[in-house]
Each structure stands twice: as C-alpha cells, then as structure tokens.
Amino acid sequence: MHFINPQKHTRRAFLKRGTQLALAGTATPMALNLAALGEAAAMTATDYKALVCVFLYGGNDYANTVVRFDDAGHAQYTQLRSAGGNGALVIPKANLSATELKPTTALVNGVKYALAPEMTGMAKLFDQGRLAVQLNVGPLVVPLTRQQYTARVLAQPPKLFSHNDQQSVWQAQGAEGSSRGWGGNLGDLALTSNADSMFTCMSVAGNAVFLSGQNALQYQCGLSGAVAVEAVRGNSFGQFMYEPAMRTAFAQLIQQTHTHVLANEYNRVMQRSLTAETKVTSAMGGVSLSTPFPAGNILGAQLKTVAQLIGGRSSLGAKRQVFMVSLDGFDVHDGMAARQPALLTKLSEALTAFDAALQELGVSDKVTTFTASDFGRTLTVNSDGTDHGWGGHQFVMGGAVKGKAFYGAPPPLSVGNTSAPDDQWHVGQGRLLPSTSVDQYAATMAKWFGVNDTELYGVLPNLNNFGVRAGRPDYPADLGFMKA
C-alpha cells in the first residue's frame, strides 16, 4: 500500500479536493487559503476519538422502532398501521410503557415516543443521557418540500428506494458505484494522527464503501480478531508445512508482486493481512474485557471485537479511528411482526453491551456510535410487512453525546396526499421526507471527531447546501447532539 507521506498529506489532500470541487463547478463559498493552511495538519490529535457506524442493512422500519407514545399520536399510528393488515404490526400502548423515552426537555405539542418493547437496554441508555434520537434523517441533496419533490424541481438523491443505491448514498453520498465514503474521508484526515495508517478505518462488517477514502482503506478484522494464515504461522493445526524453508517460501509466494493487476492486488490484500495480523492479535490480546456480550448476536460479536480493538489502540498507535459494523435483515416486506423485534433485540442488547464495555475501558466519552440504514419504510403496511421508505429515526450513543434528547423534527403521522400541513412530511404511504440530511448528521459527528470547519466541506461537500452558509438555518450544519 503506497501511503502518501503524512507530512505532505494534508496540504496535498486539500489541493486535490479543491481541484475536484472546482471541476465539479460547485459554487463553494470556501476560500482555499493554502498559504494560511501551510504545512500544519488540520488534525494532529493528541487525544483519542473513534466513530463507530452501525449499519442496519435492509432499511429499518422507524415507526415500530421509535413509536409514538402520546395518546393522540399512538391512536393515529394505530389507525394508520392497522389498515391493510390485521393489526399485528401495531404495538399496543401498554407494551410501550416500560420503554418510554423521557427527554430532559419535553417535545412540543405533547409529542412522546417510546422504543420498541424489546429495546429496554437502549431505553435505559437514553435515560442515562448516553443515547440520543435523531428524528427523520435521510439523504437529501438540498432541503426539499413535498411539492418540490413531486415536481422534481430541485436536486434529489439518486435512485431513492433502491437498497444498494441508498446504502451507497448514506455511506458515500452517491449511487452504487461511488468509490469514496465519508468514513474514509475522515480516515484520510486522520491518517496523520495515527502511527500506523493501516488501522485508521477498520471494519468488522465486510467490504463497504463507507470506509474507503482516497488513501485510507478499510482494514477488515475478523469476528474473532485478525485471521492468521495458519500455514505461515503454523500453530493451531500443527505444522502443516513442517519444513521452515517451505513455510518461508509459502509466505513469499502469497505476497509476491505480479504484473497481472488482479493477481497483484490480491496479494497486496494478503500483504496487509499478514502485516496487520500480528499487530492486531497482539493489540487485542493485551485487552482484558469482562463486560459480557450477548450470545448468538452477530452484532454483539462485531462490537465486542471493536471494543477489543479500541482497547488495544495504544499498541496500534491509533488516535483517530473510524469503525464499521453491521446487522442484516431489516428489509421486512413480510414476516415483519416476527423479524423486526428479533433484530431490534439484537441491536439493543449489542449496543448496551458495547456501551458498558466502553465504560469499562474508560473511553465512553471518546467513542461515538451511530446507526444508519438504507432508509426508513412506509407507514402503511402491506399485509404483513412494509415497503421501502426514505427518512427514518437513528440513534447516536456515547459519553460525548448530549443524550436523553431528541434532535430533528417529529414527523406528522400521515399517509394523506392533500395540501394539509400534516401531509407535507411524507411522499406517499408515509414514506418520510427527511427533515434532516445525512450530511448534517455526519457533519455533527465529524466536527466532534476533530475536523475543522474548512475541511468539513471536503469530507461532506453536500453540506454546502445546508446551514447558515446556504441560507438555511433550519437545516443546521451542527445538529447539536455532541458535547463540545
């Protein structure tokens, strides 16, 4: 892996980004004062911070996750969600009392929410101030009203309602095929802070664009830690290649460079794998974590690995890291009554355990975890499930989060298509029209991560369309859910 000299990285990265923006023709109000930038890296962190993305693949149904709990709201939710189905997808109000969310400052108009009944752990975190709810967030290019959406007069995210494209839009602000994710963009800026750039962006979830930067690439850690090549190391199965000379030759073979690009790139991954494994195994081995993680919970297993990696951060020389984990299965077109609660149980138990582990490691205020998903879903039901939507409610968790609070605007419960105000925050069937963009959501966390104002617009170029700069203070660049 050819990493740019960190000393030159920041300035060069900025030059590149500036050129790209100029070519893109965006009228950025940003003044690229390179002289002022000089050689000073924008982020040379001395403290530690990490962001953890929990991607819920398939599109999580927001309405049965963060459920309207006030009487009027719940009644309306009940009515809208019973139609077309047998009512099995309505969570009775009585079942929600235990997980009612009581924010420090009550929402206006008496709006109340509760978490799905199985999310008791996260309800507690909310109450303890380490969990916040971001309401109705989703991809936007510019702020949109329903009329503008329908008339298609303003730029819209590409390929709405398509899984793979919306996953890509959330992660990389572009349809499938985009090659750089905002987590990777953060990683690019973070490289200078880390002794070993390889451990800047780490995934336990599989290949995804979120962590791909220009220079920062995701490192894939296995669920039980870094995977060693047994034939080289030769410990656990006995010595498959008994002769040291053979083992040496094998190690050489699998790291050889080749003229053929596919062969060469395959071996480059192997090189990274071998180089990283000893360091990662050693780093994780030095971590003792007594917090129990839920059994049979693949998200929990991933977060446990992340916790151990965070525990081993000094050994890896890491100061700024971005992690990704994921949970599949949220595309509940049918069987939703059984499937979604099972997934939300996993989510809640895994995040609760992760929070406890971070406290055990003493890094609770240094790690911010957030959820993301392809999209929310329809409010209307489809016999026993829901269809693809757009905006949804997400969670932000950590000691640096101003929890026990809601951010964003509670969407009206509506599936109507009139010009009434209540019908303006969905685009049909209760698919929410986001009132907060992914860019704002990400920017709030990026700012906490240590990205300065100028660089923020490099990480998230679309941010230019929101906030005071764009004359839209109602879509603020900083949503305010992070402590200073």
Partner 1 sequence: MQAEETIAEACPASEANASIPGGTASGDVKHEWSEAALAACVAMLLSACGGGGSDREAEAKLSAGGVRFQPELLPRTPGERQLAMAARIPSATEFFDWAQRQFPALFSSQESDRTAAGGLVFRFFPGTGNYLAVLDGSVLVLGPLTQGQVVNVGTLQSFADAVGSGASSAKPSTDADAARFLLHAQFSASEAEIAAVKTKGYAAWLDEQLALPNSQSGWDWMVSKGYSAIDVNEYFFASGTYQFMVWFQLFQSPDAVRRRWAWALSEVFVVSWRGIKDLMNWDSFAMTEYWDMLCRNGLGTYRDLLEAVTLNPAMGCFSSTRGNLKEDSATGHLPDESYAREVMQLFSIGPYELNLDASLKRNANGQPIETYTADDVSNLARVFTGYNQDYSRPRFASPKSPNPMVNHIESVRGRMVFDGRNHSLLEKKFLGTAIPAGTLGPESLRMALDTLVNHPSTAPFLCRQFIQRMVTSNPTPAYVQRVAQVFNNNGSGVRGDLKAVLKAILLDDEALNATTLSSSTFGKLRSPVLRMAQWARTFKAKSVYGTWKMFLWDGNPAQDANQYPLNPSSIFSYYRPGYVPPGTAMATTGATAPEFQIVNESSVAGWANLLQGFVNKGVWVSAPNQPGFASNASDGHDIVPDYSAEKALVTTPQALVDRLNLLLCAGQLSAATVQLIVTALQADRMQANATDDLKQIHVARALMFVMCSAEYIAQR
Distances (CA, A) of 39 to 19, 67, 192, 451: 18, 50, 12, 16
Q: Which of residues 335 and 362 has its CB atom nearest to partner 1 in the complex?
A: 335
Q: Which of 279, 333, 366, 402 binds partner 1 (CB under 8 A)?
A: 333
Q: Which of 258, 278, 282, 473 binds partner 1 (CB under 8 A)?
A: 258
Determine, following the binding rule CB under 8 A, whether residue 6 of this chain makes contact with partner 1: no
Structure tokens at 152: 């298609």
Binders of partner 1 in range 131-170 (CB under 8 A):
159-165
Cα dihedral 240, 243, 245, 250 in deg (nearest 10): -10
The terminus-to-terminus CA distance of the chain in angstroms comes to: 36
- Residue 405 contacts residue 428 (beta carbons within 8 Å): no
Shortest spacing between CB 380 and partner 1, in angstroms: 5
Determine, following the binding rule CB under 8 A, whether residue 23 of this chain makes contact with partner 1: no
Shortest spacing between CB 108 and partner 1, in angstroms: 28
Amino acid at 130: R
Q: What are phi and psi of 368, to 5 degrees?
A: -115, 125
Find all residues with CB under 8 Å of 371, minimum gap 6, and list them. Answer: 54, 55, 56, 60, 347, 394, 395, 396
Determine, following the binding rule CB under 8 A, whether residue 173 of this chain makes contact with partner 1: no
Q: Which of 7, 19, 145, 224 binds partner 1 (CB under 8 A)?
A: 224
**By CB under 8 A, which span of 102-110, 265-273, 285-293, 402-410 interacts with partner 1?**
265-273
Determine, following the binding rule CB under 8 A, whether residue 328 of this chain makes contact with partner 1: yes
Distances (CA, A) of 211 to 58, 214, 223, 269, 304: 19, 10, 18, 16, 19
Determine, following the binding rule CB under 8 A, whether residue 266 of this chain makes contact with partner 1: yes
Q: Which of 48, 100, 129, 176 binds partner 1 (CB under 8 A)?
A: 176
- Residue 116 contacts residue 64 (beta carbons within 8 Å): yes
Shortest spacing between CB 292 and partner 1, in angstroms: 20
**By CB under 8 A, which span of 7-15, 107-115, 128-136, 333-341 interacts with partner 1?**
333-341
318 bridge partner residues:
none
Q: Are strands 436-437 and 131-138 parallel, antiparallel or unpaired?
A: parallel
Q: Which of residues 128 and 207 has its CB atom nearest to partner 1 in the complex?
A: 207
Determine, following the binding rule CB under 8 A, whether residue 272 of this chain makes contact with partner 1: yes
Q: Which of residues 273 and 364 has its CB atom nearest to partner 1 in the complex?
A: 273
Q: Which of 270, 287, 289, 470 binds partner 1 (CB under 8 A)?
A: 270
Determine, following the binding rule CB under 8 A, whether residue 415 of this chain makes contact with partner 1: yes
Binders of partner 1 in range 371-410 (CB under 8 A):
380-383, 385, 387-388
- The span from the CA of 321 to the CA of 202, in Å, is 8
Q: Which of residues 96 and 209 has its CB atom nearest to partner 1 in the complex?
A: 209
Find all residues with CB under 8 Å of 237, minimum gap 6, and list them. Answer: 230
**By CB under 8 A, which span of 80-88, 93-101, 111-119, 363-371 interacts with partner 1?**
80-88
